[in-house]
Copies of this chain bind each other. A is one copy, B any other.
Amino acid sequence: MAKSPITLEELGQSAKAAAQLLANITTTEKNKALEAMAEALGKYADDILVANALDMVSGREKGLSNYFLDRLLLTTDRIKGMADGLRALVALPDPVGKVEDMWLGAQDIQIGRIRVPLGVVGIIYEARPNVTVDVAGICLKTGNAVILRGSGDAFNSNKIITNILATAATASGIPAGAIQLMEDTSREGAQQLMRLNKYLDVLIPRGGAGLINSVVANATVPVIETGVGNCHIYVDESADLASAEKIVLNAKTQRPSVCNAAETLLVHKNIAEDFLPMVGASLWESGVEVRGCPITRKYLSRAIPATEEDYETEFLSLIIAVKVVNSLAEAIEHINKYGTRHSEAIVTESYTNARIFQAQVDAAAVYVNASTRFTDGFQYGFGAEMGISTQKLHVRGPMGLEAMTTIKYIINGSGQVRA
Give A contacts to B, CB under 8 Å.
20, 23-24, 103-106, 109, 111, 118-119, 197, 201-202, 216-217, 220, 222-225, 240, 243, 246-247, 249-251, 254, 336, 354, 358-360, 362-371, 373-375, 378-381, 391-394, 396-397, 406-418
Beyond A250-B418, A254-B418, A371-B416: 4 further Cβ-contacts under 8 Å?
Answer: A23-B360, A365-B410, A369-B415, A374-B411
Which of these, B23, B216, B247, contacts A197 with CB under 8 Å?
B216
Q: Is the interface of A mostly helix, strand, loop or mixed?
A: mixed
Residues of B within 8 A of A414 (CB): 369-370
> Are A379 and B336 in contact, with the CB atoms below 8 A?
no
Bound Cα distance A367, B240 (Å): 58
Which of these, B105, B413, B415, contacts A380 with CB under 8 Å?
B105
Bound Cα distance A392, B143 (Å): 14
> Are A417 and B370 in contact, with the CB atoms below 8 A?
yes
Residue among A197, A225, A368, A415 facing the most chain B CB atoms (10 A cut-off): A415
> Are A417 and B246 in contact, with the CB atoms below 8 A?
yes
Residues of B within 8 A of A409 (CB): 364-366, 375, 380, 396-397
- Copy count, this protein chain: 2
Which of these, B103, B380, B393, B408, contacts A201 with CB under 8 Å?
B393
Shortest Cβ gap from A108 to chain B (Å): 10
> Are A408 and B381 in contact, with the CB atoms below 8 A?
no
> Are A391 and B103 in contact, with the CB atoms below 8 A?
no
> Are A369 and B413 in contact, with the CB atoms below 8 A?
yes
Bound Cα distance A330, B409 (Å): 22
- In the complex, the chain B residue whose C-beta lies closest to that of A381 is B105
